[in-house]
Structure 1
Amino acid sequence: MKWQQALADYKMYLKIERGLSQNTINNYALDINKLIKHLEDNNIQESPLSISSEIVQQFIYEIAKKVNARSQSRIISGLRSFFNYLVFEDYIKTNPLELIESPKIGRKLPDTLSEEDINTIINAIDLSKPLGERNRAILETLYSCGLRVSELINLKISDLFFEEGFIKVTGKGDKQRFVPIVPETQKIINLYKNQVRVHDPIKEDFQDILFLNRRGKQLTRAMIFTIIKQLAEKVNLNKNISPHTFRHSFATHLLENGADLRAIQLMLGHESITTTEIYMHVDKSHLKDVMNTYHPRN
């Protein structure tokens, strides 16, 4: 079996059996392609069925010179998953990464913005331009609903259930959830949708997509990053922020204001509550408030 065939089979497994999103599958494939390139660059003829632990270890040693411990750990995890699949399918007997350990990394707390930071960024949008109304609706939706950037750009008009106070979100692995949306955000979305978007040329395949670019097509993830970076520079915000920062801020502010962790998990679409629990480490003052308010001994 050649590398590209093994990789194609693995990607199909991730899609069909694991139900992973295309973005996640692409990230897994990227790590495996780095190993393939290493083999080609060094004229190593080993196939995925015959590669040894020593060769994989040499590859990891090389990438350790170029990337930080977190990236190195992610690549090792991706490769381990790929070779576990080959073991599962009985192509190989043992995983060549079986005895290879990932570097120790600390648990990275998510970056967050204060409510004041978020208001400053949104207020910096030039609403005299049509794209201003769109960009305000984008940031309000990111923050108010805690969406991933991929969920935002795929949001459809038919996913808006404003009378019921919800939007339908398609998350990782095409899993759907309903997220509450506050009236103020509904108002801003409707302003963009009914007064700006209707005047734009819209390509046939994108009639139902909510947020569009100037050419009437779906926005890219990169475009959302660019909008946020430009606004952060405009207000001289000395923080490295991204669309995910708004999602982190959404969860953190809910927790700080007394929201239940299980409710936050459902709104974020986390499969495991352990993923949501990272927000418990952001501001421990909330835990003290909970204790003072609810503990019977207080």
Structure 2
Amino acid sequence: MLFSDAVEAFINFLTIELQRSPYTIDGYKKDLKYFQNYLQKSLGRYVLLSDCNIFIIRKYLLYAKKEKNYSPRTMMRNIATLKSFCKFLFLEGLINENFADRLHAPKIPEGMPRYLSKEEIQKICKCVDLSTYSGLRDYTMLMTMYYAGLRVSELVHLAVNDVAELHDLSIRQGKGGKCRIIPMHNELQKVIGYYIAKRLSTSKYLFPNKNGVPLSTQYIRKMVKKYAVKAGIDPAQVTPHVFRHSFATMLYKNGQVDLLRISKLLGHANLRATTIYTHTSADHLRNAIEKL
């Protein structure tokens, strides 16, 4: 059996039976494609499923770490992909042993998430040229990321119907296929309302490209860095996820929203993932003590 055929069967399983989100499936596809390319380059021929074993997987992971400089988080995701893939193959009887079960994911060092102040967000947004349609779209996306804390995959898959009432944002393509409702900030209501009134596309997606399909997540990543440079902010410190961190951090620091509600707004599967936002500045701690 060709390795590519096994991958196709796995992707079909994720799509049809588990109904994973398109973004999740794309992640699995990319990870397995990189692994397949490595195998094909190493073997110099088409890759068979029988070529896959624990030793070749470990050689690939070493290559990914040493040659491709994968971060611990990226390594962890690749290992999770390979473990899920091999578990599927074993349960389907396509391999005799689930050898990937012996893989151990690296420990991720816990650090404070980067976030931007409200002033830095405003500086970035002021750099957008609102006289052009693409600028208006970019500005609306920046404001949506900040005022709703969306993941980049959730942003690009927003549909016009998801903001139809300009009251709530309906997230239908959340991580793990989960849905949630995010109340819309007054400022965001104005921005999205104005954008929709000026919108040129008839696509069902709120932020489509010229072909009417969702913008790529890569476009969003490049966009935020472009405006960070214009604002005089280190682009290495600005990503779509930093906007999400900024949203959660501001909610927590304002002291009006507890971690449980922040967790629900962010779409976290468990509260533990939200505790990273308990990072605080010295001024924040000082203010808390002074209230005693």
Scaled by the length of structure 2, the TM-score of the pair is 0.85
Q: Distance in 2 between matches of 1:224 and 1:46?
A: 34
Q: Distance in 2 between matches of 1:179 and 1:280?
A: 21
What is the correspondence of 1:232-251 to structure 2 with a 5 Å cutoff?
A: 232-240=228-236, 241-251=238-248
Equivalence for 2:162:
159
Q: Distance in 1 between matches of 2:216 and 2:106?
A: 33
Residues 41-82 of structure 1, C-alpha deviations (whole Å, 9 max, x = no match): 222887435633223222223223212341333222221121
Equivalence for 1:35:
35
Equivalence for 1:59:
60
Shift of 1:3: 0.8
Shift of 1:136: 2.1
Cα pair 1:69 1:103 within 8 Å, conserved: no
Runs of 5+ unmatched residues, structure 1: none
Equivalence for 1:9:
9
SS at match of 2:221: helix
Shift of 1:177: 1.3
Shift of 1:231: 0.9
Answering whether residue 75 of structure 2 is matched by residue 72 of structure 1, we say yes
Count of aligned pairs: 286
Shift of 1:158: 1.7
Residues 103-159 of structure 1, C-alpha deviations (whole Å, 9 max, x = no match): 343135432111110011112222333433332222111111111222222222222
Percent identical: 33
Task: Return 234-243 or 112-121, whichever deviates more.
Answer: 234-243
Scaled by the length of structure 1, the TM-score of the pair is 0.83
SS at match of 1:236: coil
The Cα RMSD (Å) is 2.8
Shift of 1:97: 2.5
Cα pair 2:145 2:243 within 8 Å, conserved: yes
What is the correspondence of 1:164-175 to structure 2 with a 5 Å cutoff?
A: 165-170=167-172, 171-175=174-178
Task: Return 89-98 or 262-271, whichever deviates more.
Answer: 89-98
Q: Distance in 1 between matches of 2:285 and 2:85?
A: 40
Residues 177-201 of structure 1, C-alpha deviations (whole Å, 9 max, x = no match): 110001121111112221x21xx3x
Residues 207-263 of structure 1, C-alpha deviations (whole Å, 9 max, x = no match): x32234467664332332232122111111024212221111101111111211111
SS at match of 2:43: coil
| Counterpart residue type for residue 231 of structure 2 | V
Equivalence for 1:85:
88
| Counterpart residue type for residue 22 of structure 1 | P
Task: Return 135-144 or 54-63, whichever deviates more.
Answer: 54-63
Q: Distance in 2 between matches of 1:285 and 1:20?
A: 42
Q: Distance in 2 between matches of 1:217 and 1:48?
A: 34
Q: Distance in 2 between matches of 1:52 and 1:216?
A: 42
Q: Distance in 2 between matches of 1:83 and 1:287?
A: 47
SS at match of 1:178: strand
SS at match of 2:49: coil
Cα pair 2:2 2:47 within 8 Å, conserved: no
Q: Distance in 1 between matches of 2:283 and 2:10?
A: 45
Larger Rg belongs to: 1
Runs of 5+ unmatched residues, structure 2: none
Equivalence for 1:211:
207
Q: Distance in 1 between matches of 2:283 and 2:91?
A: 46
Equivalence for 1:274:
272
Equivalence for 2:259:
261
SS at match of 1:42: helix
| Counterpart residue type for residue 237 of structure 1 | I
Task: Return 127-136 or 254-263, whichever deviates more.
Answer: 127-136
